[in-house]
Amino acid sequence: MKKEILTSARTGDSCIHVKHSSGLDIYISEMNDFSSIEALIGTKYGSVNNIFRNAADSDYTTVPEGIAHFLEHKLFENEDCGVFELYARTGASCNAFTSFDKTCYLFSCSKNYEENLEILLDFVQKPYFTKENVDKEMGIIGQEIKMTNDNPEWRVFFNMLRGMYHNHPIKTDIAGTEESISHIDADLLYKCYDTFYNLNNMVLSIAGNISADKVLEICDRCLRPSEDKGLETVFPDEPDEIVTSEITEKQPVGASIFQFGYKCTPSDGEQRLRDVAAASTAAALLTDPALPMCERLLKEETINSTFDGEVFYGSGYFTVYFSGESDRPREVRDALFEEIDRLINEGIREKDFQRIKKTAYGMMIRGLNNVEAVANLMLNAHMDSVGPYDTIEVLSDLTCDDVIDYMRRELRPDRSVLSVITKEA
């Protein structure tokens, strides 16, 4: 078992990283001035990971869309009783989620963390899939898919992604489709579980009022050694060009909504951290109500307080997008085109840049004093193959020129997509 202390040179915060003999990566932050505990165990397995093979496999396996989310649902059900029932007895709150590139199981508590951790480590290593419980879940998830398909915010987002991506599975709903999940059975679930829930592909992150020695003692007792199978995931080739520049749909909404995004170059590791820092700062500058563009659009009632910008990224995809309510979304798009062009040519005022940067830095520092945020920080950093405190370093070194250079390279009109849902007549 390899153990190391990871420390932020800027803040002095630290955590423990252990490569456990079972194959599991473990991150521990002892925050003994707090009363709560947050723990997550995650696997690098999300909705986009539908083509894969292990080193011993001669061919790739392709599975139905939505199977990662389906597996997450079923892992909460074991042969004896449901996991929610077990946590109810200890007083903990538990949950799980599947994103595009990860699946996580978590609990929060203020006491009995040892027992709660044992429950967590136990059930993620004990899958129980049968034809009966798979068939039952099929109807439940089918209803969930119908509900999200009727959600305007969900549709406007995925319409934007479908306008950007030709082949990448990011354009498909995390839960899949009613047709795709109909092909899921117990054998396929076991295949995916055995592949992706190998401890060498997983990470445990725990923070709060805990003892690192006690956490590792529980892990020694509960974790079963796993052989690294040499997992490889692949994605279809994706061109740089977008599919279409505009998608409009009518829905029964109270106000028209839009999402306008740029298909950017994907990246990994430290380069992704630098790209996210530059892109996030650009998005914050472009949506700041104190700056001229937003001030004008608000005054003209082209946008309202819902106008916002975000960065969305993962394996093989990266987009900077803007969203909000507007009856004139094309005017918003054109204003963004003009403002980005102006900032590239005239530069960003240093005082505006520093204000945005300091706000982002302050939020990161505040997060280090939040148990839930620290647990998520450690897990997400590992999933992204960077250190827990690397983001702080990258943001600290960010300059105006970095942001301008990113806008010049990536925020290109020919790679932009406007998705709109308008009110029905």
| Topology given in CATH for the domain delimited by 2-233 | Cytochrome Bc1 Complex; Chain A, domain 1 (3.30.830)
Specify the pLDDT at position 413.
98
Specify the pLDDT at position 252.
87
Specify the pLDDT at position 79.
67
What separation, in Å, do the N-terminal and C-terminal C-alpha atoms of the chain show? Answer: 65
Specify the pLDDT at position 149.
85
Residue ranges of the chain with per-residue pLDDT less than 70: 79-81, 425
CATH topology match: 2-233 vs 246-423: yes
Specify the pLDDT at position 84.
86
> What are the tens digits of pLDDT across the range 299-358?
999 999 999 999 999 999 999 999 999 999 999 999 999 999 999 999 999 999 999 999
Specify the pLDDT at position 377.
98
Token couple for 244: 């279409």
d(CA 287, CA 30): 37
Q: Where are the domains of the chain?
A: 2-233, 246-423
| Topology given in CATH for the domain delimited by 246-423 | Cytochrome Bc1 Complex; Chain A, domain 1 (3.30.830)
Secondary structure (3-state) at 122: helix
Beta carbons within 8 Å of 254's beta carbon, 6+ residues apart: 423
DSSP state of 50: -
Helix residue ranges, H only, 240-389? 269-286, 292-299, 329-346, 350-367, 371-383
Specify the pLDDT at position 78.
73
Strand 246-251 and strand 416-423: pairing?
parallel
Q: Which residues are catalytic?
A: 72
133-142 contacts at long range (C-beta below 8 A, 24 or more positions apart): 133/74, 133/77, 134/74, 134/184, 134/185, 134/186, 134/189, 137/70, 137/73, 137/74, 138/181, 138/182, 138/184, 140/73, 141/66, 141/69, 141/70, 141/73, 141/175, 141/176, 141/181, 142/178, 142/181
Could you tell me which residues are beta bridge partners of residue 246?
418
